[in-house]
Structure 1
Amino acid sequence: MDESISSEIAAIKREMHSNSPLIKVAKADGTYRVCKCGFLLSFKRNASEQVPVLRHVNISVHPGEVLAIVGLSGSGKSTIVNLLLRLYEPTNGQILIDGFSLGELDIKWLRERIGYVGQEPKLFHMDISSNIRYGCTRDITQEDVEWAAKQAYAHEFISSLPNGYKTIVDDDLLSGGQKQRIAIARAILRDPAILILDEATSALDAESEHNVKGVLRAVRSESMAKRTVIVIAHRLSTIQAADRIVVMDGGQVVEMGSHRELLHQDGLYARLNRRQADAVA
Structure 2
Amino acid sequence: MGFLSNGHHEKVLVLKIVMVVVAMVSSTAFGAGNFHEAFEPTFGGHRVQISGQRSEQLSLSLDQGSGSGFRSKKEYMFGRIDMQMKLVGGNSAGTVTTLYLSSDQSTGRHDEIDFEFLGNVTGQPYTLHTNVFSQGEGNREQQFHLWFDPTINFHTYSIVWNQKLIMFLVDETPIRVFRNYEDRGIIFFPKNQPQRIYASLWNADDWATQGGLVKTDWSKAPFNAYYRNFNIDTSNNGSWKNHDLNENSRKRMRWVQKNYMVYDYCSDWKRFSQAFPPECKHSRV
- TM value normalised by structure 2: 0.27
For the pair shown, which has the larger CA radius of gyration, 1 or 2?
1
Higher strand proportion: 2
TM-score, length-normalised on structure 1? 0.27
Which has more helix, going by share of residues? Answer: 1
